[in-house]
Amino acid sequence: MTEDLAPQYDPTAIEAPLYRKWRDEGRFHVEADAPGEPYVIQMPPPNVTAVLHAGHGLNNTIQDVLIRFHRMRGRKALWVPGTDHAGIATQNVVEKRLAQDGQSRFDLGREAFVEEVWTFVGETGGQILRQLEALGAACDWDRTYFTLDPGLSRAVREVFVTLHEQGLIYRGKYIINWCPRCLTALSNEEAEKEETEGRIWHLRYPLADGSGGIVVATTRPETMLGDMAVAVHPDDPRYQAMIGAELALPLTDRRIPVIADTAVEQDFGSGAVKVTPAHDPTDFEIGRRHGLEQLDIMTDDAHLNDTVPERFRGLDRFVARKQVVAEFEALGLLERVEPHRHAVGHCYRCGTIIEPRLSDQWFVRMAPLAEPALTAYREGALEFIPARQGEIYTNWLEQIRDWCISRQLWWGHRIPVWYCDADGCERTIVAREDPESCPGCSGTLRQDPDVLDTWFSSWLVPFSSLGWPEQTADLKAFYPGSALVTAPEILFFWVARMVMAGLHFQGEVPFQTIYLHGTVRDTQHRKMSKSLGNGIDPLEVIERYGADALRYTLVSGMAVGTDVILDPADIDSSFAPGRNFANKLWNIGRFLLGHLDADVPRLANVAPEELTAFDRWIIGRANAAIRQATTEYERHRLNDAAAAAYHFLWSDFADWYLEAAKPRLYGTTPDGRVARAVAAHLFDAALRLLHPVMPFITETLWLRLPHSDPTGALIASPWPIPFDVVDGTASRDVAAVQAIVGAIRGLRAEYGVAPGREVSATIVDASPAARQAISELGETIRRLAKLERITMQDTIPGEAGGTIVLEDGTSVIVPLGDLVDLDRECARLGDEAKKLEGLVRGLEAKLANPQFTSRAPAAVVEGEREKLEVWRHQVASLRQKRQALGCPG
RNA sequence: GGGCGAAUAGCUCAGCUGGUCAGAGCGCCUGCCUUACACGCAGGAUGUCGGGGGUUCAAGUCCCUCUUCGCCCACCA
């Protein structure tokens, strides 16, 4: 039971075997019919091709902390893991591999390519889930899902068809965000807007009759080849005469009209806008209002197509831009060029500049779904951490636009829509089950070639992962979930949409708490990324310092809503907090276990009168730590919860209690047994408090403690509750001990007393607490301060000594003979007195102010009076000491 | 342009309902290998709480304003 611990803390030796033990004992699994109130977290499913990075480390640590905490609190805790098929990302990875062999997906063809992706996923996919085991993630692996699993695919299809039936899914031709590299449409969220230093070109379009012309401003000159009109504001006095006129579109032989539309801002640019209905959302709307033709001038990969004059055909869009500008310049039609800062959309997967493009796509009507999601938040069904994220959520929902869900990819959920091409039939079938043939004409059907946005399966996870559309026991037991932990980046991609889907299909929000944590960044506050090479590999950290050190460092460095800053160039000091603390814990355990035996009495069986002041004090500190850590975990302030356990263990338990209790622990006296009982029980409780953050080391130490917990594992044992012990004057007495010991240690350091040399101390004007502390705990003081003896007396000793006056007026004097420099001591006492006199004067003035004494609460005034008394007393003592030493002045 | 937020010790940040709130960790300085721990022990230094106004008996804490910085959204081409 008190089997020896390795002298050196070696996390690699304990972590992996312990994880296996937990898993083999079924500690992570929970049945639907298990007792207790459920606590459910859905892991944000990592991409199936992902490898663990620092962000995953932080994200999953937080979830694991919450799961472990709530399990210990008696909840039926379920953490559901899974992976996302990640349409574009995964397809890109496999395409890159093919490219190494000089192949493209088109060489293979759709079926073979998809087969290839499945093979790739089968061979290398999901390794991140295995890496999470090293982190200690207590997920229920029996419920691991993949978003392309048959069950989840059924859910996707059910949702698509239902929304279609409800008129919330439609197909239409609109301007969408097109990635010319991935060759697919993207949603608005997938087009990342980046402020870019660009230019704006002012181009002159001459009137068809040759009389002057009109100047338009554009950031994308190449699109002028698709212009169908120039628009001005109907009220713009400058252009009244022009409205209705015909312009000769330069570089082409086309004629376009000048039209009036209120969408035009008179103040911007020249007040005249070229209208390209097929390549700009605003222009698209203007074009619709005026019945303009939509001329798509580009190919899928953003080269100019056959609609433009021959010399431009086949040119890349940016090459074409240069050429268009050059030709305008040659014609004398380039008025001027200005620098211009504007937001340009980039593909969130490959970074390619988005091409706004007219295209036939499927959309989800979002307004009807957003409405309940807003209401739910406003009615308090959702709690954001930090709370301000709720405003961002609201802001987004209020101006939501329809969601483009079709993707021109091959890897993903195929859209469940079939078309009948038979003449005169041309039916569209949207169905849950694959139809054999056209129900209208029995003709052959052709399935829509597109797949769905990856997020169209992700937004269903809170219920699809539990078996929906089947009404499973899991669904009943574990929906809705409790918390959702993720980075703010996917608040719109995923979190808000899950809320909508949950409300729409289950009638309830999928989780109550939305915990949005910060990002792991380097010392320059840059996001860690592969391309910048500034990443920290969590697995490397785990290998070097252990998962517990990694986890503690991440949690302690993470206040709610702030980023975690780590230095990739100095892993050693970055993870020092966790590493140091884990080592400290190990050594506390080693020391304590070395002094325990199997028959340590239960604390409940120790008579109250057997407890010393230090025992009662440390129990009080433990109770405070239990209360605080519990509250902080509940409030999701994990760093504060961890700090509560940390400070209790290190500053109170190790630094003071164990140090003070050493003689008792070394011996075999009855009070030694009491100390062992106290130490064992409080250490047990503290390990419980810390277990959510540092599961491995706490479990390892806990298993070696003598106890009779029936669960047999810390991971499954109950959360600690405060001990029922009366403090009496214990905390006051120990505080006095700490003050006296601190004063003596300070004086020793001040005068360079050799560490081994014993001195004596004289206490004058002892306060009641000091008096009691010295008479009851004098031996402890003597040992902790390395004293030969400590005495109390009424008068200041004649011998020269260092003096410190404590806050309660007690004077601690250490006679040091020759070691004391009298001048220095006089100056020190004098400075101290002066400083205090200043404070006294300030406080006297404050108390003399009737405004203060009449308006401030009585307790505050009383507190200030007491403080004044103490300070006055201190000043008097200091003066007295100076006099006794014969100080000048 | 709209929304949200931040400025506290060299660094990263706490300070939650205005009155022991000027703190923690890391780093730094001094002394110690005191048989649990040098990833340690003991002691120590460092802040006009971004600037300026205001409310209050009392303000890192509330309000206004300026400066600087960050995040999200956005069809001024």
Over residues A356-375, mean pLDDT: 94
Q: Which nucleotide is nearest to A854 (CA to C1')?
A: B57
Any idea of the CA torsion for A852, A857, A861, A862, to the nearest 10 degrees? Answer: 160
Query: Integer distance in angstroms from CA A525 to C1' B67?
Result: 22
Per-residue burial over A142-180, b = 16 or more CB atoms within 10 Å of its CB, e = otherwise: ebbbbbbbebbbbbbbbbbbebbeeebbeeeebbbbbbb
Distance of C1' in B46 from CA in A565, Å: 23
- In sequence order, what are the beta bridge partners of A513? A383, A483
Is the pLDDT score of A821 beyond 90? no
Q: Which amino acid is at A161?
A: V
**Closest residue, by C-alpha, to the C1' of B30:** A749
Report the distance from CA of residue A165 to the C1' of nucleotide B65 in Å, as an integer: 56
Predicted confidence (pLDDT) per residue in A402-434, tens digit:
999 999 999 999 999 999 988 888 889 999 999
Residue nearest to nucleotide B70 (CA to C1'): A525
Q: Which nucleotide is nearest to A860 (CA to C1')?
A: B19
Banded pLDDT at A4 (limits 50, 70, 90): low
Side-chain-facing half-sphere of A374: CA atoms under 13 Å: 15
Residue A766's contacts (CB-CB under 8 Å, 6 or more residues apart) are A774, A792, A810
Nearest protein residue to nucleotide B12 (CA to C1' distance) is: A565
Contact A182, A88 (CB under 8 A): yes
pLDDT > 50? residue A8 = yes
> Is A542 within 8 Å of A135 (Cβ atoms)?
yes
pLDDT number for residue A182: 92
Q: How far is the CA of A555 from the C1' of B63 (A)?
A: 35
Q: Which nucleotide is nearest to A756 (CA to C1')?
A: B34
What's the CA A652/C1' B43 distance, rounded, in angstroms?
18
* Per-residue pLDDT band at A559 (split at 50, 70, 90): confident
At A323 the three-state DSSP class reads: helix
| pLDDT of the residue at A877 | 85
Mean pLDDT on A533-546: 92
Tens digits of residue pLDDT in A650-681: 999 999 999 999 999 998 888 899 999 999 99
Q: Give A864 CA → B33 C1' in Å.
A: 47
Residue A291 pLDDT:
92
User: How confident is residue A2, by pLDDT bands cut at 50, 70 and 90?
Assistant: very low
- Type of residue numbered A597: D
Distance A806 CA to B18 C1' (A): 29
d(CA A477, CA A36): 11
Distance CA A760, CA A787 (A): 5
Confidence class for position A807, pLDDT limits 50, 70, 90: confident
- State which residue has its Cα closest to the C1' atom of B41: A655
Distances (CA, A) of A764 to A715, A812, A831, A871, A874: 52, 7, 20, 16, 12
Closest protein CA to C1' of nucleotide B18, residue? A856
Structure tokens at A610: 């057997």
* Dihedral sign (CA A658, A659, A660, A665): positive
A584: the nucleotide nearest its CA (via C1') is B37
Protein residue with the closest CA to the C1' atom of nucleotide B32: A755
Residue with smallest Cα–C1' gap to B1: A342
Q: What is the pTM of this model?
A: 0.94
Q: Which strand B bases fall within 7 angstroms of a protein CB? A: 2-5, 11-16, 19-20, 24-27, 30-32, 34, 36-37, 39-44, 56-58, 71-77
Scanning every strand, the nucleotide with its C1' closest to A850's CA turns out to be: B57
Give the nucleotide at minimum CA-to-C1' distance from A591: B36
Residue length, chain A? 889
Alpha-carbon distance of A147 to A402, in angstroms, equals: 23
pLDDT of A3: 52
* The nucleotide closest to A218 (CA, C1' atoms): B77
Closest nucleotide over all strands to A857 (CA to C1'): B19
In this model, does residue A42 exceed pLDDT 90?
A: yes
Which nucleotide has its C1' atom closest to residue A280's CA? B75
pLDDT in tens, A310-341: 999 999 999 999 999 999 999 999 999 988 88
Q: How confident is the model at residue A683 (pLDDT cuts 50, 70, 90)?
A: very high
Are the CB atoms for A287 and A260 separated by under 8 Å?
no
Quickly give A865 CA vs B53 C1' distance in Å.
33
Partner residues linked to A173 by β-bridges: A360
Closest nucleotide to the alpha carbon of A750, via C1': B43
Q: Stated in angstroms, how far is A573 CA from B26 C1'?
A: 7
Give the range among A345-359, A713-727, A825-839 with minimum mean pLDDT.
A825-839
Any alpha helices (H) in A575-612, and if so which ranges? 576-593
Asked whether residue A165 carries a pLDDT value surpassing 90, the answer given is yes
ipTM, two decimals: 0.95
Mean pLDDT along residues A581-589: 96
Q: State which residue has its Cα closest to the C1' atom of B37.
A: A587
Residue A541: per-residue pLDDT: 94
Q: Which pLDDT value is given to residue A1?
A: 39
- Separation in Å: B26 C1' and A655 CA: 20
Which nucleotide has the shortest C1'-to-CA distance from A666? B35
Q: Is A442 left (phi over 0), alpha (psi -120 to 50) or beta?
A: left
Which nucleotide's C1' sits nearest to the alpha carbon of A393?
B72
Q: CA–C1' distance A557–B13 (Å)? A: 8
Nucleotide closest in space to A556 (CA vs C1') = B25
Measure CA to C1' and name the residue nearest B76.
A268
Q: How many Å apart are A566 CA and B12 C1'?
A: 9
Region of poorest pLDDT, from A379-393, A469-483, A767-781, A867-881 = A867-881
Q: How far is the CA of A858 from the C1' of B62 (A)?
A: 23
Confidence grade of residue A542 (pLDDT, cut at 50, 70, 90): very high
Q: Which nucleotide has the least CA–C1' distance to A10?
A: B39
Which pLDDT score is estimated for A870? 83
Say which residues have a Cβ less than 8 Å from residue A637's Cβ, sequence separation at least 6.
A559, A560
Give the integer Cα–Cα distance in Å for A496 and A394.
Answer: 10
At residue A166, the pLDDT reads 96
The answer to whether A520 and A55 have CB atoms below 8 angstroms apart is yes
The CA–C1' separation of A871 and B47, in angstroms, is 24
Contact between A865 and A872 under an 8 Å Cβ cutoff? The reply is no
Angstrom distance, A515 CA to B64 C1': 33
CA distances in angstroms from A730 to A618, A619, A621, A654, A784, listed in the order given: 9, 10, 11, 18, 18
Find the residue closest to B24 using CA and C1' atoms.
A643
The pair of structure tokens assigned to A420 is 């009948």
Q: What is the mean pLDDT of chain A?
A: 91
| Minimum CA–C1' distance nucleotide for A276 | B77
**A263 pLDDT above the threshold of 50:** yes
- Residue A520's nearest CA partner among A503, A502, A540, A534 is A534
Helices (H) and strands (E) in chain A, counts: 29, 29
Measure A320 CA to B43 C1' (Å). Answer: 73
Q: Which protein residue's Cα is closest to nucleotide B38 at C1'?
A: A580
Average pLDDT over residues A110-136: 94
Å between A739 CA and B56 C1'? Answer: 36
Task: Give me the CA A808–C1' B28 separation in Å, rounded.
Answer: 32
Q: CA at A855, C1' at B18: how many angstroms apart?
A: 14
Res A600: pLDDT: 86
pLDDT tens-digit series, residues A140-153: 999 999 999 999 99
